[in-house]
Amino acid sequence: MNTSRPVRVRFAPSPTGPLHIGGVRTALYNYLFARQHGGKLIFRIEDTDSARFVPGAEEYILESFRWLGIDFDEGVGFGGDNGPYRQSERRHIYKEYVQRLLDAGRAYIAFDTPEELAAAREATRGFQYDASTRQQMRNSLSLPHEETARLLSEGVNYVVRFRIEPGEDVVVNDIIRGEVRINSSVLDDKVLYKAADQLPTYHLANIVDDHLMEVTHVIRGEEWLPSAPLHVLLYRAFGWENTMPQFAHLPLLLKPDGKGKLSKRDGDRLGFPVFPLEWHDAKTGDVSRGYREDGYLPEAVINFLALLGWNPGTEQEILSMEELVAQFDLTKCSKAGAKFDFKKAAWFNHEYILHKPDAELVPAFLDLLRADGIDTTEERACAVLGMMKGRVSFVKELVPLCRFFFVAPQEYDEKTVRKRWKEYSPQQMRELADLLAGTQDFSIEGQEPVVHAWIEEKGYKMGDVMNAWRLTLVGEGIGPGMFDISAFLGKQETLSRMQRAIETLPQTV
């Protein structure tokens, strides 16, 4: 294996729908690997299965990576010297390589109709199209040459199959899994090309493109591991052993609860997205939630995904993209599947919100406030964010918690009133209002000593005063420190809220 070549990796999705979060993890690992080796990351669209093509999927995938900050060096939407990067635009190339295999006797033409194949499967349990059965089927190996030529000239439908020699030892050298060894006898003569749509199948297009695009490492999901021996044999058949990429099959993402692969149904059942962005299914009209629309920060999603299948081997959990690039180690990825802990995803979001400058969070917060009928300035929203963001995992959770900053309470929470509004509270609040009315400096630092001195002088209980005061300004028992609130509201609003509460709440003397 040639390790001295400059690193070139690719993410090669098939545009069959929205990108699954596992695919995002695959792309991320490719990105980290490329960046840390100063290599190139290619974005290739594998759209040779026309039956599964979904319009809009390619744009969706590109938009997802733009949002996440995963950038590519070459590919669909990025340009480069190895294009076209959309497989449907490379038919002429694949044709040439299929012909090479045919000419070398490494592939053959098969005319079996779907009915004939079904009949063969019916007749023999566990039927496999391979060296032991191909002579009984209708193909260029079993039919006389003239017959094959005649069928071809008549335009009869056919496929090209890979001629697999039985009894060969096939070794896949996997960076994560070590040597995966199988015998070629278990493989069937895979279809490489379909004349009907003049397109190769995934296997052929994938290998030819990896070769032509000089891919050095194939980093992809575990679900592709069963295809790897076939891919190794294809490299051999083409004589490309020396430039065969190294494989790394990433661990599966597992259900948060229990065994098995993470599916969209798990997300629906447990309430979390399995797609990076919201996806609108044009056929069914279904809308699937996305991390972006659910209020995740892209950095949090990146950090969370990076640790699904790999960790830096330290206690460090919060890692920026730069740190991930520096520390990521493909050889330390786990073989075992990674449980998809969506609660941990929310925790990461909390951490990222906490450390993100308020000014960067404020546009989203302002939008949410406006949608809730609250109009305020950027400056005031920013101040509230600073006071409150430590309490939530998502900016949207702030809106109900922060309403009182912008809108005076219209009602007072009954339970809090019962508990916090004592018979002496109206009197204390009247005194406090007078005191505050005379306070010049209404900042936190200006109010605090004045109020504390008054409480001490009167011999009041701090808790009693603060709880009642909170009720007057907030309407319930939530929120940050009282001086934070009153300083934010300002003198006039503070006094007017107190006044209203004193008039509205029970007047027990």
- Give helix 444-458 / helix 482-504 axis angle, nearest 10°: 60
Residue 398 beta carbon to ligand GLU: minimum distance, rounded to whole angstroms: 38
Residue 4 beta carbon to ligand GLU: minimum distance, rounded to whole angstroms: 23
Residue type, position 240, single letter = W
Cβ proximity to ligand GLU, 14 vs 311, nearer residue = 14
Q: Which of 95, 255, 261, 264 is catalytic?
A: 264
Cβ proximity to ligand GLU, 90 vs 220, nearer residue = 220
Residue 224 beta carbon to ligand GLU: minimum distance, rounded to whole angstroms: 5
CB distance 422 to 468 below 8 Å: yes
CB distance 38 to 7 below 8 Å: yes
Cβ proximity to ligand GLU, 12 vs 429, nearer residue = 12
Residue 3 beta carbon to ligand GLU: minimum distance, rounded to whole angstroms: 20
Cβ proximity to ligand GLU, 13 vs 200, nearer residue = 13
The three-state secondary structure class of 139 is: strand
CA distance 314 to 328: 12
CB distance 256 to 263 below 8 Å: no
Cβ proximity to ligand GLU, 24 vs 300, nearer residue = 24
Helices (H), 407-461: 414-420, 425-437, 444-458
In our burial notation (b when 16+ CB lie closer than 10 A, e otherwise), range 271-306 reads ebbbbbbbbeeeeeeeebbbbbebbbbbbbbbbbbb
Cβ proximity to ligand GLU, 222 vs 266, nearer residue = 222
The three-state secondary structure class of 261 is: strand
CA distance 269 to 292: 19
Cβ proximity to ligand GLU, 13 vs 479, nearer residue = 13
Q: Tell me the CA end-to-end span of the chain in Å, nearest whole number.
A: 90
CB distance 274 to 20 below 8 Å: yes
Beta partners for 217? 9, 246
What are the φ/ψ torsions at residue 478 (nearest 5 degrees)? -120, 175
Residue with tokens 């792309």: 27
Residue 225 beta carbon to ligand GLU: minimum distance, rounded to whole angstroms: 10
CB distance 376 to 366 below 8 Å: yes
Cα angle 176-180-186, degrees, rounded to a multiple of 5: 145
C-alpha count within 13 angstroms, C-beta hemisphere, residue 224: 21
Q: Peptide bond preceding 13: is omega within 30 degrees of 0, i.e. cis?
A: no
Residue 143 beta carbon to ligand GLU: minimum distance, rounded to whole angstroms: 33
CA distance 210 to 217: 9
CA distance 56 to 38: 32
Residue 217 beta carbon to ligand GLU: minimum distance, rounded to whole angstroms: 11
Sheet holding 191-194, edge to edge: 107-110, 159-162, 191-194, 199-200
CB distance 502 to 472 below 8 Å: yes
Residue 303 beta carbon to ligand GLU: minimum distance, rounded to whole angstroms: 23
List contacts with ligand GLU (CB under 6 A): 12-14, 46, 206, 218, 220, 224
Residue 16 beta carbon to ligand GLU: minimum distance, rounded to whole angstroms: 8
Cβ proximity to ligand GLU, 207 vs 495, nearer residue = 207
Within 10 Å of residue 235's Cβ, how many Cβ atoms?
18
Cβ proximity to ligand GLU, 218 vs 505, nearer residue = 218
Catalytic-residue membership of 264: yes
CA distance 159 to 109: 6
Active-site residue set: 264
